[in-house]
Structure 1
Amino acid sequence: MTQSPKNTDVQALFNKIAPEYDKMNNIISFGTHKLWRQKVMSKMTFPTGANIIDLATGTADWALALAEKSDQTSKITGLDFSEEMLTVGQKKVDVSDFADKIKLVQGDAMALPFEDATFDIVTIGFGLRNLPDPIKGLTEMYRVLKPGGQLVILETSQPDNPLVKPFWQLYFGKVMPTFGRIFAKGKYQEYKYLDETTEQFMDYMTLGQALLKVGFAKVTISRFNLGAAAAHYASK
């Protein structure tokens, strides 16, 4: 059982919310999570025949977007610890144009089942904050990345504007869990947990510093929606 710092079985939580996950993502973010991913990928470099892994792939949205963006000879692995999320994702992959490019596997982002220097690109979207030990996850990402390879992290963040932050806290603390109760078959506590992980996760500057300490180089940061999300780009 994978426990979060709040002693929550996050694997069981994501298994439970998997059927409504895509719908809730669209409702909670008002669809902006798709725009954020597109903006992030527009700044990425995709080498020919790239070997790419998307960690915490969930229902495979980013894996599918990476498959569309990369060339025909590239391969994408999507890894997640929730079998129910992967079940939803596999159905989407099977009916896509990229079923031959994408392989979904169940695994732990803190103990990746791959050799050193395997991947040209490592991505993780809205998943790092759910790891019980994010630094251990970053260390694993560094290990499996090839020298010169790219790491891209897209994650919710905390606005630092004093005029914006109270509204952000109200939305994530009260409105988002209520959406879970209304639109996700009463799953208030599950979405309350996701709010708490967002509030308690390291801020964007602390994450940038953590990347440097792990060994990554050329760390750059982009922020979206007044700081509600941040993208970190780094290389090995």
Structure 2
Amino acid sequence: MANRYLHNVQGLFDTIAPNYDRMNTIISLGTHRHWRRQTMAQIHLQPTDRALDLCCGTGDWTIAIAQKLTAPDAVIGLDFSAPMLRLAQQKVNDANVSDQVWLRRGNAMHLPFKTASFDLVTIGFGLRNLPDKPQALAEIYRVLKPGGQLVCLETSQPDQPLIRPVWQWYFTKVVPWFGRLFAHQYQEYSYLQETTRHFVSYRQLVALFQTAGFTGVHYQRFNFGAAAAHFGTKPLTEADHD
């Protein structure tokens, strides 16, 4: 069932890849760039660190991380959509970070990396599309080095009584209409707004991080809660987690 789900979602992202960046800007009214900048400001990297950017899409976050690192293949960008990765590769080349970036096709729930390989794992706007989120978080925990950090930037759900109805109207009515108007992809953006509406709350995501073993879990919300960045650290020892 999970494999069929992933195949369907992969096909969706293959389809929307050519319009992905433009639609992100339209749907978020350009604020997704601000969310990523604010999130990056809280990530402290050493030039020789190794990072993994999961569900990397067209590579914007991959590139932002690579610009802070110096080692060859310091950042691996992983995504299951070949068309997304082709767009990401062009961006990487244009940004002159091709030495630092290695783009790979793969499944975020079954990572093809050794245990304790990375100082940082990021996942931007991808966790909500994975059918088994605890499995994905367990894999992220496994490949992080002790003391390494997970950072997840994701759409979220406002909880203020005056804001939430407007948010629900925007995602249920306006986002699919934008998909039809600007990308001729109504069904695809109807699905994406559903994953946004039904994704766990920011508090539930904290609990998922903690259940996976992460400590020091905290978050920052954006646009009245329309998005949130969550941070968690893999303990230096298992005793720290216990």
Q: Give the aligned CA root-mean-square deviation in angstroms.
A: 1.3
Instruction: After TM superposition, list the pairs within 5 Å mapping 1:93-108 onto structure 2.
Output: 93-108=92-107
Query: Contact 2:69 / 2:100 at 8 angstroms: preserved in 1?
Result: no
Contact 1:219–1:233, Cα closer than 8 Å, also in 2: yes
Using the alignment, how far apart are the partners of 1:133 and 1:218 within structure 2?
Answer: 23
- Counterpart in the other structure of 2:155: 156
Quick check: 73-82 or 106-115, which moved more?
Answer: 73-82
Report the Cα distance in structure 2 between the residues aligned to 1:9 and 1:40, rounded to whole angstroms. 30
Match of 2:49 in 1: 50
Within 5 A, what are the aligned runs for 1:19-168?
19-68=18-67, 70-73=68-71, 75-168=74-167
* Preserved contact between residue 177 and residue 192 of structure 1 (Cα < 8 Å): yes
Alpha-carbon offset, residue 73 of structure 1 = 2.9
Query: What code does the residue aligned with 2:75 have?
Result: I
Partners in 2 of 1:102 and 1:224 — Cα distance? 28
Report Cα offsets for 1:9-42 as digits up to 9, x if no partner.
Answer: 1000000000000111111111111110000010
Q: CA deviation at 1:8?
A: 7.6
The code of the aligned residue for 1:215 comes to G
Quote the Cα distance in structure 2 between the aligned partners of 1:55 and 1:132: 15
Deviation per residue, 1:150-205 (Å, 9 max, x gap): 10000000000011001101111110111110111x10010010000011111000
Gaps in structure 2 of 5+ consecutive residues = 235-242
**3-state SS of paired residue (1:113):** coil
Give the aligned partner of residue 216 of structure 2: 218
Contact 1:154-1:230 within 8 A present in 2 as well: yes
SS at 2:200 equivalent: coil
**Is there any run of 5+ residues in structure 1 with no aligned partner, and where?**
none
* Kept in 2: contact 1:2–1:11 (CA 8 A): no
Partner in structure 1 of residue 188 of structure 2: 190
Residue 36 of structure 1 contacts residue 224 of structure 1 at CA under 8 Å; is this kept in 2? yes
How many angstroms apart in 1 are the aligned matches of 2:21 and 2:212? 32
Aligned residues with identical type, % of pairs: 52
Shift of 1:64: 0.7
What is the SS of the residue equivalent to 1:87?
A: helix
Letter in 1 for 2:101: I
In structure 1, how many angstroms separate the alpha carbons of the residues matched to 2:147 and 2:63? 24
How far does the alpha carbon of each residue in 1:192-231 deviate from its partner, in whole angstroms, 9 at most, with x for none?
Answer: 1000001111100001011111100100111000000011
Query: 1 CA distance for matches of 2:57 and 2:100?
Result: 17
- State TM-score, norm by structure 1: 0.95
Please give the TM-score of this superposition, normalised by the length of structure 2.
0.93
In structure 1, the residue matched to 2:199 is: 201
CA shift, 1:114, in A, is: 0.2
| Count of residues paired in the alignment | 232
Is the CA contact (8 Å cut-off) linking 1:2 and 1:132 kept in structure 2? no
